[in-house]
Protein backbone atom coordinates (compact mmCIF):
# COMPACT_ATOMS: atom_id res chain seq x y z
CA UNK A 1 0.00 0.00 0.00
CA UNK A 2 1.36 3.39 -0.97
CA UNK A 3 1.13 5.92 1.82
CA UNK A 4 -0.04 8.84 -0.34
CA UNK A 5 1.42 12.25 0.40
CA UNK A 6 -1.70 13.78 -1.18
CA UNK A 7 -4.52 11.47 -0.11
CA UNK A 8 -7.24 13.99 -0.90
CA UNK A 9 -6.06 14.88 -4.40
CA UNK A 10 -7.82 13.43 -7.43
CA UNK A 11 -7.73 14.38 -11.10
CA UNK A 12 -8.31 18.13 -11.49
CA UNK A 13 -11.69 19.46 -12.56
CA UNK A 14 -9.99 21.07 -15.60
CA UNK A 15 -8.78 17.71 -16.88
CA UNK A 16 -12.13 16.05 -16.16
CA UNK A 17 -14.28 18.69 -17.81
CA UNK A 18 -12.04 19.01 -20.88
CA UNK A 19 -12.13 15.21 -21.25
CA UNK A 20 -15.93 15.18 -20.96
CA UNK A 21 -16.21 17.98 -23.52
CA UNK A 22 -14.04 15.98 -25.89
CA UNK A 23 -15.99 12.79 -25.29
CA UNK A 24 -19.41 14.40 -25.77
CA UNK A 25 -18.41 16.85 -28.50
CA UNK A 26 -19.54 19.78 -26.33
CA UNK A 27 -18.16 23.28 -26.86
CA UNK A 28 -15.36 23.53 -24.31
CA UNK A 29 -15.76 26.69 -22.22
CA UNK A 30 -14.42 24.86 -19.15
CA UNK A 31 -10.60 24.72 -18.86
CA UNK A 32 -9.13 28.17 -19.51
CA UNK A 33 -7.36 28.34 -22.86
CA UNK A 34 -7.87 30.15 -26.16
CA UNK A 35 -9.32 28.28 -29.15
CA UNK A 36 -7.74 30.83 -31.51
CA UNK A 37 -4.19 30.91 -32.84
CA UNK A 38 -1.23 32.48 -31.09
CA UNK A 39 0.41 35.40 -32.98
CA UNK A 40 1.99 34.08 -36.18
CA UNK A 41 5.23 35.98 -35.59
CA UNK A 42 5.59 34.27 -32.21
CA UNK A 43 5.05 30.79 -33.70
CA UNK A 44 7.44 31.53 -36.58
CA UNK A 45 10.10 32.61 -34.12
CA UNK A 46 10.06 29.18 -32.41
CA UNK A 47 10.80 27.43 -35.71
CA UNK A 48 13.51 29.94 -36.50
CA UNK A 49 15.25 29.44 -33.17
CA UNK A 50 15.04 25.65 -33.35
CA UNK A 51 16.55 25.80 -36.85
CA UNK A 52 19.25 28.15 -35.56
CA UNK A 53 20.28 25.53 -33.03
CA UNK A 54 18.88 27.07 -29.85
CA UNK A 55 18.06 23.65 -28.52
CA UNK A 56 20.23 23.17 -25.45
CA UNK A 57 19.76 24.17 -21.82
CA UNK A 58 19.22 27.83 -21.15
CA UNK A 59 20.64 29.47 -18.02
CA UNK A 60 18.94 28.25 -14.84
CA UNK A 61 17.43 31.67 -14.10
CA UNK A 62 16.13 32.02 -17.65
CA UNK A 63 17.40 33.40 -20.93
CA UNK A 64 18.86 36.88 -20.25
CA UNK A 65 17.11 38.33 -23.32
CA UNK A 66 13.75 37.19 -21.98
CA UNK A 67 14.41 38.39 -18.45
CA UNK A 68 15.25 41.77 -19.95
CA UNK A 69 11.95 41.84 -21.83
CA UNK A 70 10.10 40.95 -18.65
CA UNK A 71 11.80 43.79 -16.80
CA UNK A 72 11.00 46.19 -19.66
CA UNK A 73 7.34 45.13 -19.62
CA UNK A 74 7.20 45.63 -15.85
CA UNK A 75 8.74 49.10 -16.19
CA UNK A 76 6.19 50.07 -18.86
CA UNK A 77 3.21 48.56 -17.04
CA UNK A 78 3.91 49.49 -13.43
CA UNK A 79 6.66 52.12 -13.51
CA UNK A 80 9.05 50.08 -11.38
CA UNK A 81 12.47 48.73 -12.18
CA UNK A 82 13.51 45.20 -11.26
CA UNK A 83 16.98 43.70 -11.54
CA UNK A 84 17.11 41.08 -14.28
CA UNK A 85 19.95 39.16 -12.64
CA UNK A 86 18.75 39.04 -9.07
CA UNK A 87 14.97 39.44 -9.19
CA UNK A 88 13.57 37.80 -12.35
CA UNK A 89 13.40 34.02 -12.88
CA UNK A 90 11.83 32.27 -15.86
CA UNK A 91 9.99 29.06 -14.97
CA UNK A 92 8.25 26.28 -16.89
CA UNK A 93 4.81 27.74 -16.13
CA UNK A 94 3.40 29.85 -13.34
CA UNK A 95 2.46 26.59 -11.63
CA UNK A 96 6.14 25.70 -11.18
CA UNK A 97 6.89 29.22 -9.93
CA UNK A 98 4.17 28.92 -7.28
CA UNK A 99 5.36 25.46 -6.28
CA UNK A 100 8.99 26.57 -5.94
CA UNK A 101 8.11 29.71 -3.97
CA UNK A 102 6.14 27.62 -1.50
CA UNK A 103 8.83 24.95 -1.16
CA UNK A 104 11.44 27.69 -0.69
CA UNK A 105 9.93 29.29 2.40
CA UNK A 106 7.30 26.98 3.93
CA UNK A 107 8.42 24.64 6.69
CA UNK A 108 6.62 21.80 8.44
CA UNK A 109 3.82 23.15 10.59
CA UNK A 110 3.63 26.54 8.86
CA UNK A 111 0.23 27.93 7.92
CA UNK A 112 -0.56 29.47 4.55
CA UNK A 113 -3.68 31.58 4.09
CA UNK A 114 -5.53 31.06 0.82
CA UNK A 115 -8.70 32.85 -0.19
CA UNK A 116 -11.57 30.63 -1.30
CA UNK A 117 -12.49 30.14 -4.06
CA UNK A 118 -8.78 29.35 -4.57
CA UNK A 119 -6.87 28.08 -7.59
CA UNK A 120 -6.33 24.35 -7.26
CA UNK A 121 -2.51 24.13 -7.26
CA UNK A 122 -1.93 26.12 -4.06
CA UNK A 123 -3.03 23.61 -1.43
CA UNK A 124 -1.18 20.48 -2.69
CA UNK A 125 1.99 22.57 -3.03
CA UNK A 126 1.66 23.73 0.57
CA UNK A 127 0.96 20.20 1.80
CA UNK A 128 4.02 18.81 0.02
CA UNK A 129 6.10 21.38 1.91
CA UNK A 130 4.63 20.08 5.18
CA UNK A 131 2.50 23.18 5.66
CA UNK A 132 -1.23 23.58 6.13
CA UNK A 133 -3.65 25.82 4.24
CA UNK A 134 -6.00 28.00 6.25
CA UNK A 135 -8.95 28.85 4.01
CA UNK A 136 -10.51 32.31 4.27
CA UNK A 137 -13.65 32.84 2.22
CA UNK A 138 -13.96 35.87 0.00
CA UNK A 139 -17.32 37.68 0.27
CA UNK A 140 -19.97 35.64 -1.51
CA UNK A 141 -21.38 38.56 -3.52
CA UNK A 142 -18.31 40.42 -4.85
CA UNK A 143 -15.38 38.11 -4.01
CA UNK A 144 -13.60 40.83 -2.04
CA UNK A 145 -11.35 40.17 0.97
CA UNK A 146 -13.29 39.95 4.23
CA UNK A 147 -10.86 41.70 6.55
CA UNK A 148 -12.38 40.41 9.75
CA UNK A 149 -12.12 36.84 8.53
CA UNK A 150 -8.52 37.41 7.42
CA UNK A 151 -7.55 38.91 10.77
CA UNK A 152 -9.21 36.01 12.60
CA UNK A 153 -7.27 33.52 10.48
CA UNK A 154 -3.84 34.97 11.30
CA UNK A 155 -1.86 33.03 13.89
CA UNK A 156 1.75 32.93 15.08
CA UNK A 157 2.21 30.07 12.60
CA UNK A 158 1.02 32.07 9.56
CA UNK A 159 4.01 32.17 7.21
CA UNK A 160 2.43 33.08 3.90
CA UNK A 161 -0.65 34.61 2.28
CA UNK A 162 -1.49 33.80 -1.35
CA UNK A 163 -3.19 36.56 -3.33
CA UNK A 164 -4.65 36.13 -6.81
CA UNK A 165 -5.57 39.23 -8.77
CA UNK A 166 -7.27 39.30 -11.28
CA UNK A 167 -8.96 36.40 -9.56
CA UNK A 168 -9.71 32.99 -11.01
CA UNK A 169 -12.61 32.04 -11.03
CA UNK A 170 -14.45 35.29 -10.16
CA UNK A 171 -12.52 37.91 -12.15
CA UNK A 172 -12.39 40.19 -9.07
CA UNK A 173 -9.53 42.69 -8.73
CA UNK A 174 -7.66 43.74 -5.60
CA UNK A 175 -7.42 47.53 -5.24
CA UNK A 176 -4.50 49.67 -4.09
CA UNK A 177 -6.45 50.48 -0.90
CA UNK A 178 -6.78 46.76 -0.17
CA UNK A 179 -3.05 46.22 -0.69
CA UNK A 180 -2.40 49.09 1.73
CA UNK A 181 -4.72 47.53 4.26
CA UNK A 182 -2.95 44.19 3.89
CA UNK A 183 0.45 45.84 4.31
CA UNK A 184 -0.75 47.45 7.52
CA UNK A 185 -2.22 44.21 8.83
CA UNK A 186 0.99 42.20 8.40
CA UNK A 187 3.53 44.98 8.94
CA UNK A 188 4.91 43.49 12.15
CA UNK A 189 4.59 39.87 11.18
CA UNK A 190 7.00 37.50 9.52
CA UNK A 191 4.72 36.63 6.58
CA UNK A 192 5.61 36.10 2.91
CA UNK A 193 3.27 36.67 -0.01
CA UNK A 194 2.68 34.99 -3.31
CA UNK A 195 0.86 37.33 -5.64
CA UNK A 196 -0.52 35.23 -8.48
CA UNK A 197 -0.99 37.78 -11.24
CA UNK A 198 -1.18 35.48 -14.27
CA UNK A 199 -4.16 37.47 -15.62
CA UNK A 200 -2.39 40.83 -15.04
CA UNK A 201 -3.06 42.09 -18.57
CA UNK A 202 -6.69 40.94 -18.77
CA UNK A 203 -8.49 43.87 -17.11
CA UNK A 204 -11.49 45.75 -18.42
CA UNK A 205 -13.52 48.97 -18.39
CA UNK A 206 -10.41 51.11 -17.98
CA UNK A 207 -9.67 49.81 -14.47
CA UNK A 208 -5.94 49.10 -14.20
CA UNK A 209 -4.43 46.00 -12.62
CA UNK A 210 -2.72 46.89 -9.35
CA UNK A 211 0.44 44.83 -9.07
CA UNK A 212 2.22 43.95 -5.85
CA UNK A 213 5.36 44.83 -7.85
CA UNK A 214 4.35 48.48 -7.50
CA UNK A 215 3.67 48.23 -3.75
CA UNK A 216 7.02 48.80 -2.13
CA UNK A 217 6.23 47.46 1.33
CA UNK A 218 4.49 44.32 0.12
CA UNK A 219 7.00 43.61 -2.65
CA UNK A 220 9.77 43.27 -0.06
CA UNK A 221 8.17 40.01 1.09
CA UNK A 222 6.58 38.85 -2.15
CA UNK A 223 6.93 36.40 -5.00
CA UNK A 224 5.01 37.94 -7.92
CA UNK A 225 4.06 35.30 -10.46
CA UNK A 226 2.90 35.63 -14.06
CA UNK A 227 2.42 33.44 -17.13
CA UNK A 228 3.32 34.00 -20.78
CA UNK A 229 0.61 31.42 -21.49
CA UNK A 230 -2.21 33.85 -20.69
CA UNK A 231 -0.63 36.98 -22.12
CA UNK A 232 0.54 35.54 -25.46
CA UNK A 233 -2.25 32.96 -26.06
CA UNK A 234 0.11 29.98 -25.56
CA UNK A 235 -1.08 28.14 -22.44
CA UNK A 236 0.47 24.90 -23.74
CA UNK A 237 3.94 26.41 -23.75
CA UNK A 238 3.91 26.29 -19.95
CA UNK A 239 6.27 29.22 -19.60
CA UNK A 240 6.00 31.74 -16.80
CA UNK A 241 8.09 33.88 -14.50
CA UNK A 242 8.47 34.99 -10.94
CA UNK A 243 9.77 38.32 -9.69
CA UNK A 244 10.96 38.60 -6.10
CA UNK A 245 13.53 40.59 -4.11
CA UNK A 246 17.09 39.17 -4.33
CA UNK A 247 17.09 37.21 -1.06
CA UNK A 248 13.79 35.51 -1.92
CA UNK A 249 14.85 34.92 -5.52
CA UNK A 250 18.02 33.20 -4.29
CA UNK A 251 15.97 30.78 -2.17
CA UNK A 252 13.46 30.20 -4.97
CA UNK A 253 16.22 29.37 -7.43
CA UNK A 254 17.64 26.74 -5.04
CA UNK A 255 14.35 24.88 -5.49
CA UNK A 256 13.78 25.70 -9.16
CA UNK A 257 17.18 24.36 -10.17
CA UNK A 258 16.24 20.91 -8.84
CA UNK A 259 12.57 20.86 -9.81
CA UNK A 260 13.30 21.66 -13.43
CA UNK A 261 16.59 23.57 -13.75
CA UNK A 262 15.41 25.75 -16.66
CA UNK A 263 12.58 26.56 -19.04
CA UNK A 264 12.34 25.39 -22.67
CA UNK A 265 15.05 27.24 -24.60
CA UNK A 266 13.54 27.93 -28.06
CA UNK A 267 10.28 29.09 -26.48
CA UNK A 268 12.16 31.60 -24.36
CA UNK A 269 14.01 32.90 -27.43
CA UNK A 270 10.75 33.24 -29.34
CA UNK A 271 9.02 35.09 -26.51
CA UNK A 272 11.99 37.45 -26.15
CA UNK A 273 11.92 38.26 -29.87
CA UNK A 274 8.17 38.76 -29.95
CA UNK A 275 8.09 40.94 -26.84
CA UNK A 276 10.86 43.15 -28.21
CA UNK A 277 9.16 43.54 -31.59
CA UNK A 278 5.58 43.85 -30.30
CA UNK A 279 5.36 45.74 -27.02
CA UNK A 280 1.91 46.87 -28.16
CA UNK A 281 0.58 43.30 -27.80
CA UNK A 282 0.20 43.76 -24.05
CA UNK A 283 -1.39 47.19 -24.38
CA UNK A 284 -3.96 45.85 -26.83
CA UNK A 285 -4.98 42.86 -24.70
CA UNK A 286 -7.58 44.59 -22.49
CA UNK A 287 -9.54 45.83 -25.53
CA UNK A 288 -9.11 42.49 -27.31
CA UNK A 289 -10.56 40.48 -24.43
CA UNK A 290 -13.08 43.11 -23.37
CA UNK A 291 -14.65 42.84 -26.84
CA UNK A 292 -14.97 39.07 -26.31
CA UNK A 293 -16.43 39.51 -22.84
CA UNK A 294 -18.94 42.06 -24.11
CA UNK A 295 -19.94 40.07 -27.17
CA UNK A 296 -20.52 36.98 -25.04
CA UNK A 297 -22.37 38.84 -22.30
CA UNK A 298 -24.55 40.74 -24.83
CA UNK A 299 -25.46 37.43 -26.43
CA UNK A 300 -26.34 35.95 -23.01
CA UNK A 301 -28.66 38.81 -21.98
CA UNK A 302 -31.80 37.05 -23.31
CA UNK A 303 -30.84 33.79 -21.52
CA UNK A 304 -32.11 32.78 -18.09
CA UNK A 305 -28.58 32.97 -16.68
CA UNK A 306 -27.82 36.08 -14.61
CA UNK A 307 -24.39 37.68 -14.28
CA UNK A 308 -22.41 40.85 -13.83
CA UNK A 309 -19.62 41.43 -16.30
CA UNK A 310 -16.25 40.44 -14.86
CA UNK A 311 -13.62 43.17 -14.30
CA UNK A 312 -10.74 40.83 -15.18
CA UNK A 313 -9.54 37.37 -16.39
CA UNK A 314 -11.06 35.49 -19.33
CA UNK A 315 -13.73 33.84 -17.22
CA UNK A 316 -17.36 34.87 -16.80
CA UNK A 317 -19.33 33.55 -13.82
CA UNK A 318 -23.04 33.00 -14.45
CA UNK A 319 -25.81 32.24 -11.95
CA UNK A 320 -28.21 29.48 -12.96
CA UNK A 321 -30.70 29.78 -10.05
CA UNK A 322 -33.51 30.57 -12.47
CA UNK A 323 -32.85 27.41 -14.50
CA UNK A 324 -31.97 24.43 -12.29
CA UNK A 325 -31.85 25.54 -8.64
CA UNK A 326 -32.23 21.86 -7.73
CA UNK A 327 -28.76 20.99 -9.10
CA UNK A 328 -25.48 21.67 -7.33
CA UNK A 329 -22.86 23.23 -9.59
CA UNK A 330 -21.00 19.99 -10.33
CA UNK A 331 -24.21 18.32 -11.48
CA UNK A 332 -25.16 21.48 -13.36
CA UNK A 333 -21.83 21.43 -15.22
CA UNK A 334 -22.32 17.77 -16.14
CA UNK A 335 -25.92 18.47 -17.23
CA UNK A 336 -24.90 21.47 -19.33
CA UNK A 337 -22.15 19.46 -21.01
CA UNK A 338 -24.14 16.30 -21.66
CA UNK A 339 -27.57 17.73 -22.40
CA UNK A 340 -26.80 21.14 -23.86
CA UNK A 341 -23.35 20.78 -25.38
CA UNK A 342 -21.50 23.47 -23.38
CA UNK A 343 -18.78 22.45 -20.91
CA UNK A 344 -18.32 24.72 -17.86
CA UNK A 345 -16.43 24.67 -14.56
CA UNK A 346 -18.33 24.42 -11.23
CA UNK A 347 -16.87 26.88 -8.74
CA UNK A 348 -17.50 24.77 -5.63
CA UNK A 349 -14.34 22.80 -6.45
CA UNK A 350 -12.28 25.92 -5.60
CA UNK A 351 -13.64 25.89 -2.02
CA UNK A 352 -12.75 23.90 1.08
CA UNK A 353 -16.34 24.46 2.20
CA UNK A 354 -18.56 25.31 -0.77
CA UNK A 355 -21.26 27.91 -0.19
CA UNK A 356 -24.41 25.76 -0.09
CA UNK A 357 -26.77 28.22 -1.76
CA UNK A 358 -24.32 29.33 -4.49
CA UNK A 359 -25.45 28.43 -8.03
CA UNK A 360 -22.53 29.57 -10.17
CA UNK A 361 -20.59 28.08 -13.06
CA UNK A 362 -17.55 29.53 -14.85
CA UNK A 363 -17.43 30.04 -18.61
CA UNK A 364 -14.17 30.77 -20.45
CA UNK A 365 -14.58 33.44 -23.14
CA UNK A 366 -11.05 33.16 -24.59
CA UNK A 367 -12.70 31.84 -27.73
CA UNK A 368 -13.30 32.74 -31.37
CA UNK A 369 -16.41 34.80 -32.10
CA UNK A 370 -17.96 31.78 -33.79
CA UNK A 371 -17.48 29.60 -30.69
CA UNK A 372 -18.94 32.29 -28.44
CA UNK A 373 -21.97 32.69 -30.73
CA UNK A 374 -22.60 28.93 -30.87
CA UNK A 375 -22.23 28.60 -27.10
CA UNK A 376 -24.52 31.56 -26.43
CA UNK A 377 -27.16 30.14 -28.74
CA UNK A 378 -27.13 26.85 -26.83
CA UNK A 379 -27.20 28.62 -23.46
CA UNK A 380 -30.08 30.90 -24.53
CA UNK A 381 -32.09 27.84 -25.55
CA UNK A 382 -32.13 26.43 -22.02
> Is residue 89 part of the contact set for ligand PMP (CB under 6 A)?
no
Q: Is 93 in the site for ligand PMP (CB under 6 A)?
A: yes
* Nearest distance from C-beta of residue 197 to ligand PMP, angstroms: 9
x/- map, 142-181, ligand GLN, by CB under 6 A? --------------------------x-------------
- Measured distance CA(242)–CA(291) in Å, rounded: 29
196 makes contact with ligand PMP (CB under 6 A):
yes
**Cβ closer to ligand GLN: 182 or 332?**
332
**Cβ 194 vs Cβ 164: under 8 Å:** no
30 belongs to the binding site for ligand PMP (CB under 6 A)? no
In whole angstroms, what is the distance from residue 39 CA to residue 245 CA? 32
By CB under 6 A, the residues from 1 to 30 that bind ligand GLN are: 12, 14
| Per-position x/- string for 99-138, each x denoting binding to ligand PMP as judged by CB under 6 A, each - no binding | --------------------x-------------------
Give the DSSP H or E segment for 19: helix 13-24
Binding mask 26-65 for ligand GLN (x = CB under 6 A): -----xx---------------------------------
CB-CB contact of 277 with 72 (8 Å) = no
In the complex, the smallest distance separating the C-beta of residue 76 from ligand PMP, rounded to whole angstroms, is 21
Residues 6+ apart with CB under 8 A from 186: 154, 161, 221
346 belongs to the binding site for ligand GLN (CB under 6 A)? no
Beta strands in the chain (DSSP E): 27-28, 88-91, 111-116, 132-137, 158-164, 192-196, 222-227, 240-243, 315-319, 342-343, 345-346, 360-364
Distance CA 272, CA 286 (A): 21
Distance set, CA 364 to CA 96, 137, 315, 318 (Å):
23, 23, 4, 11
Q: Which is nearer to ligand GLN, 215 or 233 (CB)?
A: 233
Binding residues for ligand GLN (CB under 6 A): 12, 14, 31-32, 168
Amino acid sequence: MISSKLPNVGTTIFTRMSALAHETGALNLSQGFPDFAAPQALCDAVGRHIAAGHNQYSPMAGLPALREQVAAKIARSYGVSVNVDTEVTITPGATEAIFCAIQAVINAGDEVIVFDPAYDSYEPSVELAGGRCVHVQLSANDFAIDWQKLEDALSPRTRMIILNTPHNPSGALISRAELDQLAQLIADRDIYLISDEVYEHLVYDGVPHVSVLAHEALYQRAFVVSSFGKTYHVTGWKTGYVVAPPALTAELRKVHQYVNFCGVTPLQWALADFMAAHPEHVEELPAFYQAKRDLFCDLLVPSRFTFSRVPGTYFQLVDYSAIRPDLNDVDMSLWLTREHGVATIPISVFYQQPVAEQRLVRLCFAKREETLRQAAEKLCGI
